[in-house]
Structure 1
Amino acid sequence: MQDFKLNSSAKDVSSYIASCPVTVQEVLEKLRSTILKAAPEAEETISYKMPAFKYYGMLVYFAAYKNHIGFYATPTGHKEFEKELAPYKQGKGSVQFPLNQPLPFSLVAKIVKFRAQENLVNFQNKKKAKK
């Protein structure tokens, strides 16, 4: 598998997923539906050449790589779920879910819900500060 995050020229999430190997497409579709179920009002887009979801700001991103799915929920999203994410390779605001293991979809849903609430509160606080 190529490094799809860096080489993808997809204009939307469906095209991005379709550009990935068939063996990965099913996992990406389930990840996508998990995110949208956890944040039904989130808007899909492509940002930094990878699928991204917006809800009162950027919510989460994901990308397919040769051996893993990169999941990006910003540093706050990862800090909040530090214990649950401990088994996975991480960077600041990123986590790698190996393709040879089941993805933790219920954990992804919890992270997305946390990030959606965080974005909403931040938006409301900014709105109050302007008044």
Structure 2
Amino acid sequence: MVDLSQYLPILLFLFIALGLSALFVFLPMGVSRLTGAHNPDAEKLSEYECGFPAFEDPRSQFDVRFYLIAILFIVFDLEAAFLFPWAVSLDLTGWPGWITMMIFLGELAVGLAYAWKVGALEWD
């Protein structure tokens, strides 16, 4: 027989978290409706960021190159994040740590060269 009483604190935590998140979402909406702050008119519903209506459907697809640039940025950002702890602990890891990082940087260099060769970094 499995003792499920150990999961009671986790279940209690999940119910409290769900209740608080629902409270934080729905309480301000209810208060604004009751106090009269919810009063939409043409001025409130107009465009406010750029000052003029959008030309295209806002749900149009992005160009694939945008995603390629974003993915490459994330890869090289993570590379920089891996370099800092490696540099700090290099005296502990020694030559095996250095060789492993050089292999990692070599793989990233090959990936960057490939992306450069196929034109993933060019923006027309």
Q: TM-score, normalised by structure 1?
A: 0.25
Larger radius of gyration: 2
Q: Higher strand fraction: Structure 1 or Structure 2?
A: 1
When you count helix as a share of all residues, which structure comes out higher?
2
